[in-house]
Structure 1
Amino acid sequence: MAGEELKPSTVISLADAMQAYSAGRYAEAEDIGCRIAAVHPNDPAVWNLLGVVARMTGRQPEAVACYRRGIAVAPDYAALWSNLGNALKDLKRCEAAIVCHRRALELEPDVATSLHNLGVALTAAGRDGEALHAYDAALAIEPANENVIWDRALSRLRLGDYAGGWQDYEARFGRDELPKRDLPGMRWNGGPYAGKTLLVAAEQGLGDGIWVARYLKRVKALGGEMIVECREPSRALLASMGVADRIILQGEPLPAVDFHIPQCSLPGVFTPDEAAIPTEPYITADPQERARLAPIIAAAAGERLKVGIVWGGSGTYASRADRDAKLAYFLAHFNIPGVQLFSLQKGPQEEELKALPAAPVVHLTPHTADMFETAAAVAELDLVIMTDTSVAHLAGALGKPVWVLLCRVPHWMWQYGRSDCAWYPSMRLFRQRTWGDWTGAFDEAAAALQMLVLQRSGKLLTV
């Protein structure tokens, strides 16, 4: 950190650091910033840069310390307050984050980025109604900001405003998480397409594909040939519905069609409000698959309640760390007399089960290669208890009892405050009371499971 290695002008050196940061060379940017800070410790812009780099590289506590160091020397530096709010939000210190964002806006009013940041912090605090005001104010300044529109969509949908939410939901394309695709044909508007061909294009996760599959029969009834694109684990399941004329895998060349629609745009066509949600079961497990799995499940359970568990979802979502729980939680709360646990878990989280020398769990994943076979396993169980993953949608689509354990601010579909689900009548929801604390949700679900076992045994007649 020798000062003589610096360029004569701090501004030029800081520009070099910013250039390195913009190019993704975070270590270089941090090195330059540290050398500047050693010579100019009272330069708030340097501490802002170091905080941004620390946050970008996943070191939120260090970012907080850097931003506060900058605020100590420049208490009216609005960007430091806004960035401090972002880092605190990452740490789920949401109320403190909100104070910081409001301070930034007091110092520099009508800054779209600061208003957006405030909205995100309010959302993380479970205050979506207030977040909408912040998003609206940001969009009054930057009406075409797709990131703000997308966040407003999620708040609107979580609050049950489907009419406004679906309109904003279209902003999902073009963001880093979901790049735009050049789909063939014209965008379908929901009208009849007799004698024409329509592509329902895949997007987002496996659960999203199962969620919107409830609309495929209605889409097919409006026209000619319906081609459905999907991911490999869902292909056999969607084919078993007998609705699509053709199914293609995501990644295969797209055929020439007259019309297309992204799959998650279908609710916006058919469901303007909660009353219009199609809630009847729309997937049926294959009888042959059920017959194959039934002896395996029955032999393991005997007379006990057959309960499936899933404790983690796809590793592709940034919110997975918030949504997932550890297998140890499930064993501690649900491994009770009268219950046989069955694992439906797939992916890296299976290693948690394999690491246990004598886990009281029957692992069904070796018997279920895809969603088609998993549906048969779910159909043979009495209940599935899980965190927010694609199997929740599968169980709901089958009309099977499913209990979902939710983080403090869940996916928009699960909304707030309710123990039921508007989209799946067979679903029951258990919620975190504070960020990261699963105690209450698991305790409530464990109590409900114990009551269910007692009822089943005739030892408790009322709940």
Structure 2
Amino acid sequence: MSEAEQAGKVVMPLAKALEKLAKLEQENKLEQADLFAARMLAAMPEHPHILQLAGIVAYRNGRTAEAIERMEKSEALSPQTPVYPRNICEVYRGAGRLDDALRAGKRAIELAPQDSRSYFNLALIHYERLELDDAVRVAEQALTIDPEFAEAHFEKAEALLLAGRLREGWESYEWRFKLKQAEGMLPKTDKPQWDGRPMEPGKLLIIGDQGFGDCVQFGRFMPWAASQAPQPVLACSAELLPLLGQLPGPGKIVTRWDDAAGYEAFIPLSGLPRLAGVTLENIPPAGYLAPKPALVARWGETLERLVPRGKKRIALVWAGRPTHKNDKKRSLKLTQFKPLFDRDDVVVITVQKGDQIAQAGGYYGRAPLVNLGPEIEDFLDTMAILRHVDQLVSIDTSVAHLAGASNVPTSVVLPYAPDWRWLLNRDDTPWYPSLRLYRQTVPYQWDDVIRRLAADL
């Protein structure tokens, strides 16, 4: 057998193995990918692409330090491969190593100046560093290469909106429904998207799109929509019915597309601010949601039985939905609120939902803790409970929006680079006057934030 033939027998199996490893990762078969990556590394520990893919798999499995070690070694072995710095800049970003992320992002563009994905990744880094003008500029460079790059349009939108440039931001924000994760959020229809012009009664479909918090935030624009297109049909999830049903304007509310027949145009709820020409100066006021009096009375009786008298009542939400794209940045552990728990003049009332409620079982603190999470059935329960507390302390999640929309005094803890709606360099928000914002001063560092919040209560 010739030398060339021998090389062919080695190269082809390796190529297929790399393809298999990449496919396992892309299909989210992460346990299988981990085992396969370990076998490949055992056979060829110095192969740069095996190291690169094994690093990505380690990162997807939550082993960030191991991922960085593998990917840095991969880049050192093959420093001219553009995809390696492009990949690791995202891992650095997830680890909060923003200086390293910036360096890697710039290196990726240097190696591949026509790669739109590298510009997009660098725009993400600039956003995380709160370099918003740079984020917009680099996103626009990505769009010069690929004008249909939906993620780059959306990143540009988020940077503009975070900077308070709402009119510009709303336009780019329209690209959100071309993102892969937006599939299925809008009806399959040949009807046009509403342009804001007057329509006959009952002919407009408004869609409660995106997350619960978004729907609560943008629900305030439904009366404006109804002034242009009376008695619109509202489509939303069943969980939102008791909330959005309080808003004036809808003629009919449905929870299934099949029940929304007869409309002539549609609009996502999150598209109404653009049509209404909303800026920081003309946001409709909060106070458009309220709990049911009977629930307020019932929860009042419950809390009178459970809560020690003479202490300040502090409601608490410490974690959000794990599938949220930024949950790693926004969610905390219950134990991280120790400065609050050390106060002997408060009682902590948890209104946390989901699997994270289990953390309350390991609570140790000076402040009494009343765990209401297992007893809360829906948003109306939560809103009624909040009528009986002195303050809510929450991460950036739907309960914070619920509190703001119903004018409950609330302290919200925010990551260094927050979601766009919280703007920058202010401890208040024009969306919800009852909210006070506590921002990280260093990415991923919560200790100072919680200390300041606890001292201010």
The match for 1:166 is 170
The match for 1:453 is none
- How far does the alpha carbon of each residue in 1:16-53 deviate from its partner, in whole angstroms, 9 at most, with x for none? 52255236366777777777767766654443343344
Q: Does 1:14 align with 2:15?
A: yes
- How far does the alpha carbon of each residue in 1:37-71 deviate from its partner, in whole angstroms, 9 at most, with x for none? 67766654443343344444444333322332233
SS state at 1:173 partner: helix
SS state at 1:276 partner: coil
The match for 2:321 is 314
The match for 1:363 is 371
- How far does the alpha carbon of each residue in 1:103-141 deviate from its partner, in whole angstroms, 9 at most, with x for none? 222233232111111111222223222221211111111
Q: Does 1:76 align with 2:84?
A: no
SS state at 2:69 partner: helix
Q: Does 1:182 align with 2:187?
A: yes
| 1:396 partner amino acid | G
Q: Does 1:147 align with 2:113?
A: no
* Aligned length, in residue pairs: 446
| TM, length-normalised to structure 1 | 0.87
Instruction: Give the deviation of 1:261 after TM superposition.
Output: 0.8
| 1:123 partner amino acid | Y
Q: Does 1:438 align with 2:446?
A: yes
Instruction: Give the deviation of 1:442 after TM superposition.
Output: 0.7
Instruction: Say if 1:229 and 1:249, in contact at 8 Å, map to a contact too.
Output: yes
The match for 2:233 is 227
Instruction: Say if 2:335 and 2:363, in contact at 8 Å, map to a contact too.
Output: no
Q: CA RMSD in A?
A: 2.8
Change (3 A) 1:207 1:28: closer
The match for 1:274 is 280
Unaligned runs of 5+ in 2: none
Q: Does 1:333 align with 2:340?
A: yes
The match for 1:421 is 429
Instruction: Give the deviation of 1:403 after TM superposition.
Output: 0.7
Q: Does 1:92 align with 2:96?
A: yes
C-alpha distance in 1 between matches for 2:63 and 2:407? 43
C-alpha distance in 2 between matches for 1:410 and 1:267? 20
SS state at 1:71 partner: helix
Instruction: Give the deviation of 1:390 after TM superposition.
Output: 0.6
SS state at 1:346 partner: coil
Change (3 A) 1:259 1:6: same
Unaligned runs of 5+ in 1: 450-463
C-alpha distance in 1 between matches for 2:395 and 2:347? 18
Q: How does 1:37-56 map to 2 (within 5 A)?
A: 43-56=47-60
C-alpha distance in 2 between matches for 1:350 and 1:56? 25
Instruction: Give the deviation of 1:192 after TM superposition.
Output: 1.4
Change (3 A) 1:266 1:302: same
SS state at 1:308 partner: strand
- How far does the alpha carbon of each residue in 1:427-460 deviate from its partner, in whole angstroms, 9 at most, with x for none? 10001222222111111111111xxxxxxxxxxx
| TM, length-normalised to structure 2 | 0.88
Query: Identity, % of aligned pairs?
Result: 26
Q: How does 1:241-260 map to 2 (within 5 A)?
A: 241-249=247-255, 253-260=259-266
| 1:99 partner amino acid | R
Residue in structure 2 matching 1:193, options 193, 199, 202? 199
C-alpha distance in 1 between matches for 2:289 and 2:217? 11
Q: Does 1:354 align with 2:348?
A: no
